[in-house]
Amino acid sequence: MTQVDASAGSGTLMPDAGKMPACDVNSALASLPVWSLPPTGPQHIVCLTEETTEWLYLLGQEHRIVGISGYTVRPARARQDKPRVSAFTSAKLDKILALQPDCVLGFSDMQADIASSLIRAGVPVTVFNQRSVAQIFDMLFQVAALVGQGDQGRVLIQKIQQTMLAIQGLAANLPRRPRVYFEEWDEPPISAIQWVSELMGIAGGDDIFPELARQAMGKHRIIADSTEIVRRNPDIIIGSWCGKKFRPDNVAARAGWGEVAAVKTGQLFEIKSCDILQPGPAALTDGLAQLHRIIMDWSRVHG
């Protein structure tokens, strides 16, 4: 049996599911052209960086992921669940194509070559370029909407924002805000990217290189004269060296650094790059929490 769909201008004949046996309903739906069915979003997603993987897991949409970055550590089970098909600036294109993805998610100009190769192979690719906290939230919502989870995405985003506002409120009561030097790389020294600088401010500290934070590219945040770090005299030094362990003793032993406030008081700390340099849920939650704890501990003694 059929019924007329009144929403269609000329009246489209549609199966009347209420008057059909279940087997006939399934048969009727199976006979419909794919384009007439409700869109479900991509079903085979490759995530070239960790933040989209973590976010899809948080949304309960991990079943859509077919491939991840080899640098993914959040969530831990993703490394057991999913094949690793890329590094950061390189990828196993044959392995990705074999997975037949209907969506590849990447991050930044650093993955432009990977993206262009996949696009030439006919793969749909979306590359985000979030650099600020606001842009991270925009990316999270876009990914949630992409997989039909816009409402759930909003709920999770609002929870993160509420926690951030609570931390910012506590930080507002600090008697003195510490000067913070965040080092993303050591040789040459590279200072904090924008979202890290903003998170330091939310946590209660002041980035000693705020003018560099606005530079998207790491090469434009290189501190050519390291004596400028000494001159700005940070109260706290935080290292997050991508790919290698932060060595506070080595930092303290740098020529001329003995008089830096953070060195004199032993305020040198590491935050793992997976927690703070991933422009996604990790930085906004665990990364911010660690920044806030370091700053509050400093304030109780030195504030």
177: helix, coil or strand? coil
The whole domain housing 293 covers 173-302
Q: Which two tokens stand for residue 257?
A: 């650094």
pLDDT band at 15 (very low <50, low <70, confident <90, very high): very low
Cβ atoms of 251 and 268 within 8 Å: the answer is yes
The CATH number given to whatever domain includes residue 227 is: 3.40.50.1980
Asked whether residue 250 falls in the same domain as residue 179, the answer is: yes
Instruction: Tally the C-alpha atoms within 13 A of residue 238's C-alpha that lie toward its C-beta.
Output: 30
> Which residue in the block uniquely carries the two structure tokens 């949409």?
61
pLDDT tens by residue, 187-199 = 999 999 999 999 9
Note the pLDDT of residue 102: 97
**Which run of H or E residues covers position 46?**
strand 45-47
pLDDT tens by residue, 232-257 = 999 999 999 987 999 999 999 999 99
Asked whether residue 215 falls in the same domain as residue 183, the answer is: yes
Q: Do the strands 179-186 and 189-191 form a parallel or antiparallel pair, or are they unpaired?
A: antiparallel
**What are the C-alpha distances in Å from 91 to residues 95, 101, 111, 116, 295?**
9, 14, 9, 12, 38
Note the pLDDT of residue 29: 58
Q: What is the mean pLDDT of the chain?
A: 92
Q: Which two tokens stand for residue 7?
A: 């929403």
Asked whether residue 118 falls in the same domain as residue 223, the answer is: no
Q: Provide the 8-state DSSP code for 283.
A: I
pLDDT tens by residue, 48-81 = 999 999 999 999 999 999 999 999 999 999 999 9
Note the pLDDT of residue 165: 98
User: How many domains does one find in the chain?
Assistant: 3
pLDDT of 1 > 70? The answer is no
Asked whether residue 272 falls in the same domain as residue 204, the answer is: yes
- DSSP secondary structure string for all residues of 210-254: HHHHT--SGGGGB-S-THHHHHH--SEEEE--TTS---HHHHHTS
69: helix, coil or strand? strand
Which of the listed residues 129, 164, 198 is the one where a domain comes to its end? 129
pTM to 2 decimal places: 0.88
Asked whether residue 188 falls in the same domain as residue 283, the answer is: yes
pLDDT of 94 > 50? The answer is yes
